[in-house]
């Protein structure tokens, strides 16, 4: 499978400047000053309710900050076309979401129609091409998460954001997904990875950010 688009820069892939997120009177994030390296895996860790998921939702405009700016390769996200941004920034969520139909149907939803490219994407995430005809709803949790990752990779993202992607997986599937992430990062796709698991931080992080009560408290 061809490499994702290379922005050709060592600048931060994401930069958060004085970012605050409020919902009514509730302050979810405040005073966030953060740069996410354009290489490797940056892990955001913190307890439940610390603002980790909110931080990830800012990266492809599922949410906009109440105050401050979030930029992607130096450009304010609000200056970018949302659909284009969401192709450039791939998202993998805590619970894999497969669409109705077969695995092939799920991959075709990206607009890519080449069978060989499907096989390459599945191979990249450690799945055999024989699953193409399988009904997606019958996949195991680990298989479904890999199909979601393959679907994301077909869009050739410049960066990947993973929000607790292994929280519903068994240990073997967790280690396999971590290995896939390492391969992607080493191949040039920077990853912002969210977890509450301190042991996972030690296994995968090239850099870490600790959130507590909506603030960055350590790096």
Residue at 1 is within a domain:
no
DSSP state of 2: P
CA distance 22 to 35: 21
Structural domain contains residue 6: no
Number of domains in the chain: 1
List the chain residues with pLDDT less than 70: 1-10, 219
Q: Are strands 26-36 and 159-163 parallel, antiparallel or unpaired?
A: unpaired
The tens digit of pLDDT for each residue in 172-217 reads 888 988 998 999 999 999 999 999 888 999 999 999 999 999 999 9
Question: What per-residue confidence (pLDDT) applies to 6?
Answer: 39
- Beta bridge mates, 20: 67
pLDDT at 216: 95
194 lies in a domain? yes
Residue 101 lies in a domain: yes
What stretches of 9-162 show up as alpha helix (H) in DSSP? 52-58, 82-88, 103-108, 115-124, 141-153
Domain that holds residue 189: 14-218
What pLDDT sits at residue 142? Answer: 87
């Amino acid at each position: 499978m061809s490499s994702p688009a290379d922005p050709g820069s060592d600048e931060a892939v994401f930069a958060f400047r004085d970012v605050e997120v409020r919902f009514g009177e509730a302050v979810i994030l405040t005073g966030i000053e953060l740069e996410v390296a354009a290489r490797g895996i940056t892990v955001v860790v913190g307890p439940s309710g610390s603002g980790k998921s909110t931080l990830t939702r800012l990266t492809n405009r599922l949410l906009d900050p109440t105050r401050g700016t979030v930029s992607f390769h130096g450009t304010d996200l609000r200056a970018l076309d949302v659909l284009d941004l969401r192709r450039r920034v791939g998202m993998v969520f805590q619970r894999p979401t497969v669409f109705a139909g077969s695995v092939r149907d799920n991959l075709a939803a990206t607009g890519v129609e080449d069978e060989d490219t499907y096989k390459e994407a599945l191979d990249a995430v450690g799945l055999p091409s024989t699953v193409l005809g399988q009904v997606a709803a019958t996949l195991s949790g680990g298989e479904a998460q890999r199909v979601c990752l393959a679907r994301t990779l077909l869009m050739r993202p410049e960066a990947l954001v993973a929000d607790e992607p292994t929280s519903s997986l068994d240990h073997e599937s967790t280690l396999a997904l971590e290995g896939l992430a390492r391969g992607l990062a080493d191949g040039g796709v920077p990853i912002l990875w969210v977890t509450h698991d301190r042991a996972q931080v030690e296994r995968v992080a090239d850099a870490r950010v600790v959130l507590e009560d909506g603030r960055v408290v350590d790096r």
